[in-house]
Structure 1
Amino acid sequence: MAACMEDKTEEEDSILEALCFPERPAPRTSSSSSRGKEVVTCVLCADSCPLSEKDRLLKHLAVEHKLVIADVKLIADFPKYVLYWRKRFTEQPITDFCSVIKTNSKGPVEKQEDFFLLCDVLPEDRILREQLQQNRLEEILEQQQIERDDSSFRRDCMFCNEEFTGNRSSLLNHMAREHAFSVGLPDNIVYCQEFLDTLQGKLDNLQCLYCEKTFRDKITLKDHMRKKQHRRVNANNHEYDQFYIINYLELGKTWEEVQSEDDHEMLEDEDDDWSDWQAHPVCAVCLFCEHQSETMNKIYDHMGEAHGFDLHKLKSELNLRFYQQVKLVNYIRREIHQCRCYGCQQKFATRSEVLHHVVEAGHAMMLPGMSTWDQPQYYFPTYENDALLCALSDSDSDSEREGHGGDVPVIAEDISNLRALKQTSVLNHLLKNRGANI
């Protein structure tokens, strides 16, 4: 936790995921469209073609070399896969790696042919495929991080032409909120610009995004999508799979298979022995500095004595419900991380300067209007595993919370908008707090 509480510069004025360790510059990867222009060379000769025409190369392998590659669609990086086997086939005979299948085995000898099958039954091939899948996932996550940190995003809404700048989430949330068109949570999307270009192209061609029928004019298309509730993308159109992180998670599994999995079998496994489970105490970290404590009373006392901040008093004065407290804590953490006073919004060069200002100016208990911090984006934690969030409650006092053994009912806020996002999502993503890792 302490490692991620360093002073920030003016350029790092956004937090789009739970903080963990200091961010390192991520290499920019190519878009999914540019990958199709890569050239792939045959594993056994000099014949080559663009990756977008790999079916022609596969036909060439089967016809000219009698070589068949199994489950090509499960190969995460086909060019690297081919490059690897091209090298290996120069080192050892192809029969050392491939199963030999004889065709027309009961027919005339002159019509019999031997075909070679390269598949993941071979341990070396299986390891290669899994490694390529892991590498692709890492590349995709790096690309997604770049997009999440990108503040230069600029694009018009495809429904009302309102311009959005700063970050992609502002546009995606606007379309979900104002136009009931959700493509899923922004954090689950990669290659966002290309995704939006694809959707915009379909609308420009007067094509419904859900049923994909074409209409004679924009007014007819608009009325159709509104009346038929077709303001969503077609989940069965695999053209969209490349834009969702979930499709890169596990080798050979689609998003439907990943989401349909449950832990039923693991829950019923009576052989699991949890007797050696040891719970480690979780330290709560001060909202303002790096001070930590294993008890909430001590951390609250510290914030009051060192920084003049009383969360219990604010909760009582503003009559804050549980989720409002969560959003307030995440808002304050985010503003402090960005070296900005959460009360007056004054920006400083370093973290120490903003903390000095908060105390000296008496802004510790000064909050902006609720419309500033009582926002959906602050449902998500600024810091991963923030123990302070776990100590919040709806009770009026600590004694009430202790008197009920900590079993305090939580009164939920109206999250119908978030539920709508989940239900209309093309992938029906589960709402969850997401860290940097999957």
Structure 2
Amino acid sequence: MAAIDSCDDGEGHILEPLCFPEQPEAEAPYYAGACRDDGGAETLSCLFCSESHPVAHKDQLLKHLLLSHKLVIADVKLIADLPKYLLYWKGRLLEQPVGDFCSEIKTNSTGPAEKQERYFLLCDVLPEDRALREKLQRKRLEEVLEQQQKERDDRSFRRVCVFCNDEFAGNRCHLLNHMAREHAFNIGLPDNIVYCEQLLDTLQDKMANLQCLYCEKTFKDKMTLKDHMRKKAHRRINASNRHYDRFYIINYLELGKTWEEVQSEDDRELPDDKDDDWSDWRACPMSAVCLFCDHRRHTMDDVYAHMKEVHDFDLPRLRAELNLSFYQQVKLVNFIRRQIHQNRCHACQDKFGCRADVLRHLRQRRHAMTLPPPRTWNQPQYYFPTYENDGLLCALPDSDGDGEDGDGRAGEDGVPVIAEDVMDARIVKENSVLRNLLRNNT
């Protein structure tokens, strides 16, 4: 989910999840008829007022919900039909207050009361929300399977090959098999594909624009493009390109899972004598990014050394001198990340035009190791990572106890922290729906 910031000037809001560029940028999700030719007529309605936006401009509505109503919806990209999801909750919030359904987050909790703000998080930790998401996912899967069956039975298909002038009629499988056999371009079994016409339109447009179908580089003429795709073995679709996910039925099977995750699952039971065999285990290397620049290393010692040598910032020293607990380290890292992302000096809060100016200021003023008062950065909103894939957070030492009660339910300052699989009933209002559900389950 997006990190939430509450600055007086309104410029500090981070409205979208940030991600380091180690992964390809995700394409728009395939929900709410993303593959249907409905002309974008469907709209998204605000849960609290009459404002609405087209599905294509969902970010505007999410921004409105955050700034005007202090509401964040978790994992929006995983919701199969966002218009129906919003319509359902709009009706429920007419019946009961938002606090009965949502987790509450209070910012600036140690500051003056007039500067405190309350935000609400609507997520699938609530069983009702989870059930709704799964129902929408099943409905979407039914629609896609119905569409796929129509395409499989369609005998009126007529199309010219993307790579040559041969025309095929009768059924889509003839063209797809021809592309695989004659042009070594295999996009998978025809029965695994849905919205085939739109997939072929996408490929045709790229070829017409002299764009490689795999790496998407553009070339000066068709002959150069063909030579490139042949020599580089680029006669295929890039599996990492999320734009193509909508055309494969496997991506609609399970809520929140990509084709890679579904494909990697192995439900076969291993023999008893091999259950404990970990000989084929291969750990994925985790990398971390410097707090101030894009420098990346696979070991924390290298990252710490880089920050100390290049930016005069010594995180282990700060941790020792200030006796920072694990949760305080998390909040400090997220605070600095956010300030640097917004081109601010984390020490004096001066604003600059670009990151290079910030780094120059930090070096000249020696502000790297200077921290503002704890009330500025030791705030609950900095539990939320500024970057979703921040490896630095995963490697912070946590051997000092950190004031936890044994299951990760409370931070060092007594502020409740909800673990991924634990819902702490102590932070739920006495008369809320969540409270009742917890009681019924115990």
Q: TM-score by structure 1 length?
A: 0.53
Q: C-alpha displacement at 1:34, in angstroms?
A: 3.3
CA distance in 2, matches of 1:133, 1:263: 22
Residue in 1 that maps onto 2:260: 256
Residue 191 (str. 1) matches residue 184 (str. 2): no
For residues 266 and 123 of structure 1, do their structure 2 counterparts lie closer, same or farther at Cα, with a shift above 3 Å needed? farther
Give yes or no for contact 1:206–1:215 (8 Å, CA) kept in 2.
yes
User: Which residue in 1 is equivalent to 2:84?
Assistant: 80
Match of 2:241 in 1: 237
Cα distance in 2 between the residues matched to 1:32 and 1:267: 46
- Partners of 1:240 and 1:123 lie apart in 2 by 31
2:216: which partner in 1?
212
**Paired letter, 2:261:** E
Pair 1:200-2:188 in alignment: no
State the secondary structure of the residue aligned to 2:211: coil
Shift of 1:36: 4.5
- Displacement of 1:204 in angstroms is 0.9
Retained in 1: the 8 A contact 2:211–2:225?
Answer: yes
Residue-pair matches, total: 243
**Counterpart of 1:221?**
225
User: In structure 1, how many angstroms separate the alpha carbons of the residues matched to 2:88 and 2:267?
Assistant: 37
Are 1:125 and 2:124 matched, yes or no? no
Counterpart of 1:386 in structure 2 is: none
* CA distance in structure 1 between the partners assigned to 2:270 and 2:91 by the alignment: 42
Amino acid at match of 1:92: Q
Aligned equivalent of 1:179: 183
1:215 touches 1:221 (CA, 8 Å); kept in 2? yes
Task: Verify: 1:44 aligned to 2:9, yes or no.
Answer: no
Partners of 1:35 and 1:51 within 8 A in 2: no
User: Kindly tell me: are residues 36 and 256 of structure 1, through their superposed partners in 2, closer, same or farther at Cα, counting changes over 3 Å?
Assistant: farther
Q: Distance in 2 between matches of 1:265 and 1:104?
A: 51
The DSSP-based 3-state class of the residue aligned with 1:34 is coil
| CA RMSD across the alignment | 2.0
Distance in 2 separating the partners of 1:269 and 1:36: 56
Give the secondary structure class of the aligned counterpart of 2:38: helix
* C-alpha distance in 2 between matches for 1:104 and 1:92: 27
Aligned to 1:115, what secondary structure does the other structure show?
strand
1:66 match: 70
Report matched runs for 1:396-407 at 5 Å.
none
Q: How does 1:289-438 map to 2 (within 5 A)?
A: none
**What amino acid is aligned across from residue 241 of structure 1 in structure 2?**
D
Shift of 1:269: 11
- Bigger relative contact order, structure 1 or 2, given CA contacts below 8 A and separation 6+? 1
Question: What residue is the counterpart of 2:154 in the other structure?
Answer: 150
| Aligned CA distance change for structure 1 residues 102 and 30 (closer, same or farther; 3 Å) | closer
* Paired AA for residue 261 in structure 1: E
Per-residue deviation at 1:80? Answer: 0.8
Q: Cα 1:74–1:31, aligned 2, differ >3 Å: closer, same or farther?
A: closer
Cα contact 1:69–1:118 (8 A) shared by 2:
yes
Distance 2:74 2:39 in 1: 22
Q: Is the 8 A contact 1:43 1:89 kept in 2?
A: yes
Which residue of the other structure, out of 117, 138, 141, is the alignment partner of 1:137? Answer: 141
Q: Which runs of 4+ in 1 moved over 4 A?
A: 264-270
Following superposition, the deviation at residue 108 of structure 1 comes to: 2.1
CA contact (8 A) 1:98 1:116 kept: yes
Q: Which amino acid aligns with 1:177?
A: R
Q: Secondary structure at the match of 1:151?
A: coil
> 1:290-343 CA deviation, whole Å, 9 max, x = no partner?
xxxxxxxxxxxxxxxxxxxxxxxxxxxxxxxxxxxxxxxxxxxxxxxxxxxxxx
Alignment match, 1:168: 172
- Distance in 2 (alpha carbons) for counterparts of 1:100 and 1:269: 48
- Counterpart secondary structure, 1:164: strand
TM-score by length of 2: 0.53
Structure 1 SS opposite 2:58: helix
1:155 alignment partner, SS class: strand
Q: Contact 1:32 / 1:242 at 8 angstroms: preserved in 2? A: no
Cα distance, 1:35–1:92 mapped onto 2, change above 3 Å:
farther
Match for 1:92 among 88, 91, 96?
A: 96
Quote the sequence identity (%).
Answer: 71
Counterparts of residues 96-115 of structure 1 (less than 5 Å)? 96-115=100-119
| C-alpha deviation, 1:31, in angstroms | 3.6
How has the CA–CA distance of structure 1 residues 92 and 155 changed in structure 2, closer, same or farther, with 3 Å as cutoff?
same
Other structure's SS at 1:68 match: strand
1:55 paired with 2:59, answer yes
Residues 37, 52 of structure 1: 8 Å contact kept: no
**Distance in 2 between the 1:171 and 1:154 partners?**
9
CA contact (8 A) 2:105 2:118 kept: yes
* Contact 2:35/2:246 (8 A) holds in 1: no
Unaligned runs of 5+ in 2: 1-32, 275-442
User: Residues of 2 paired with 1:263 and 1:45: CA distance?
Assistant: 47
Could you list the per-position Cα deviations for residues 229-257 of structure 1 after superposition, in whole angstroms to 9, with x for gaps in the alignment? 10001111111000000000001111000
1:267, CA displacement in angstroms?
Answer: 6.0
- Sort the Cα spacing of 1:265 and 1:45 in 2 relative to 1 into closer, same or farther, 3 A: farther
Q: State the distance in 1 between where 2:92 and 2:272 align.
A: 45
